[in-house]
Amino acid sequence: FPSECAHFKSILSGSFFRLYYPCQETEKAEKPDWVPCREYFNGLADFMKINRTLSERIFNHLFGSFKIPAYLDAPFKSNGKCPVVIFSHGLGAFRTLYSAICAEMASQGFIVASVEHRDQSASATYYFNAESERANENLPKTSASAQDGLVKEWMYYRALQHGESEFPLRNKQVKQRADECILALDKLTEVNSGRAVQNALKTKFDWTTLENSMDLCRIAAMGHSFGGATVIEALCKEVKFKCGVALDAWMFPLDDETFPRVKQPIFFINSEKFQWAGNISRMKKLDSAVIQRKMITIRGTVHQSFPDFTFLTGNWIGKLMKLKGEIDPQIAIDLSNKATLAFLQRHLGLEKDFNQWDPLIDGQDENLIQGTNVTVLQSSI
C-alpha cells in the first residue's frame, strides 16, 4: 500500500493545465492541436460507453487533425498585469475542450489555466513518474514511453461501478478537483515570481517572460458542469478566488455544508435543456442578500453548448447528438463570454469596458432568461 501512496504523491505534486494568454502575432508559431494525443479519444469512447477500437479511429478521423485558432508557445504580450482565471472541465472532458471560452478570455487580457483533473473524471489524462520511483515501487513495467528518466503514464475515465453509490465518489472527486485548481494557482504564482518551474512537457516557451505578468489580486474560478461544482468548492477553500462563474453547474457532488461557507460572488450561466428543479434548488441555497449571486439561462442551448464540440458538427448531427441546441452556437457562446466578462469586471474591479455588457448579467437580451426557465418548488426557508 505504501507504494500506492508514493505513486499518488508524485501525481499530486504536479499540476497539469493548458495556459491561454495574450500573445504577440507571430507568423512562425504553429497552431496548437485541439486534442493533443489519440489516447484522449480512447478515454472518450470509455466515457460514452462505446467500443474503443472503432470509435477511437472515427474520432481521430473526424477530430484528430483539428487545430485551435491560437499561436502555440508565442511570446507573451505584456500590457500591464493580467487578471487570472482557473478553468475546470466537466465529467468525461479534459483540459483542451473549452478553447472557445478560454481563448476568448485570453484575447480579452486574461491569463487562463485550463486544468486537467487527475480524479479519474477526465476522459483521459497523463502524468509523469520518475523512472527511479517506479523501479523501487516494483510497479509493473508499462509500455509507457520514457523521456529523460520520466515515464509517461495514462489514467482513464473511471465509470461508476455497478451498484456503487455515486455521491461518495463525486464528493471525493470535487474536493480533489478544487485542490487541483488551487495547486494550479500556486504554480502560476511561482511562475509570476520568476522562479524557474520544472515543466515536464518539452516546449520551447520561455516561462520567465511571464514574470510579473499576473495580477494576483484579480483571480476567478470558472468551470463547466462538474467543473461548475468545482468552482463552488474552490471558492469555499481558497479566498484568493475573488469570484466564480459556473457554466451549467452540476450541483450533485457538493455537500450541503459547503453552501453557507462560500463568501464570494457567483454567476450561474445555465443552458435551457440541462437544468432540473433539484439542481436549481441547490443553486438557490447560495442565494444571498449580501453577496452577489446571479443566474441567467441562454435560450435554445443544451449542456454541450459550452464545450467546443458544439462548433464541430453540422446542424443535423449536432442536434441529433445533443451537441447543438436551437440557437446558433456562436451567438450562445458570445452571450456567455460577454456576460462573464461583465461579471468579472464588476467583481475583480477591472478597468476595462466590459461593463457595456452589464445588462446581460440581468438577462437583458432576447436570447437570455433572467434566472431560470425551470419551475422550482417554493425553496424551503
Ligand X SMILES: CCN(CC)CCN(C[C@]12C[C@](c3ccc(C(F)(F)F)cc3)(C1)C2)C(=O)Cn1c(SCc2ccc(F)cc2)nc(=O)c2c1C=CC2
86 binds ligand X (CB under 6 A): no
Nearer to ligand X, 213 or 297 (CB): 297
**What are residue 125's phi and psi, to 5 degrees?**
-155, 160
Q: Verify whether residue 99 is a known catalytic residue.
A: no
Q: How many CB atoms lie within 10 A of CB 314?
A: 9
From the list 86-94, 179-187, 282-290, 370-378, the region that binds ligand X by CB under 6 A is 86-94
How far is it, in rounded angstroms, from Cα 85 to Cα 186? Answer: 13
Residue 261: CB minimum distance to ligand X, A: 22
Q: Verify whether residue 303 is a known catalytic residue.
A: yes
Q: Which amino acid is at 321?
A: M
323 binds ligand X (CB under 6 A): yes
Q: Quick check: 202 and 196 in contact, CB under 8 A?
A: no
100 binds ligand X (CB under 6 A): no
Catalytic-role residue among 179, 248, 308, 365: 248
49 binds ligand X (CB under 6 A): yes
Cα dist. 51→48, 55, 169 in Å?
A: 9, 6, 24
Site string for ligand X, 248-287 (x = CB under 6 A): --x-------------------------------------
Q: Verify whether residue 248 is a known catalytic residue.
A: yes
Residues 6 or more apart whose CB falls under 8 angstroms from that of 206 comprise: 75
Instruction: Give the DSSP letter string of 304-364.
Output: GGSSGGGGTS-HHHHHHTTS--SS-HHHHHHHHHHHHHHHHHHHHT--SSGGGGHHHHTT-
Quickly count helices (H) and strands (E) in the chain: 11, 11
Nearer to ligand X, 49 or 202 (CB): 49
Cell of 140: 509493473
Catalytic-role residue among 15, 121, 225, 271: 225
Catalytic-role residue among 303, 308, 347, 365: 303
318 binds ligand X (CB under 6 A): no
Burial of 63 (0-12, 13-18, 19+ CB in 10 A): middle
Nearer to ligand X, 224 or 346 (CB): 224
Q: Quick check: 333 and 307 in contact, CB under 8 A?
A: no
Instruction: Give the DSSP letter string of 258-276.
Output: GGGG--S-EEEEEETTT--
From the list 89-97, 136-144, 345-353, 371-379, the region that binds ligand X by CB under 6 A is 89-97
304 binds ligand X (CB under 6 A): yes
From the list 78-86, 88-96, 235-243, 340-348, the region that binds ligand X by CB under 6 A is 88-96
226 binds ligand X (CB under 6 A): yes
97 binds ligand X (CB under 6 A): yes
Q: Binding residues for ligand X, per CB under 6 A?
A: 44, 48-49, 90-93, 97, 225-226, 250, 303-304, 307, 309, 321-323
Just list the catalytic residues. 225, 248, 303
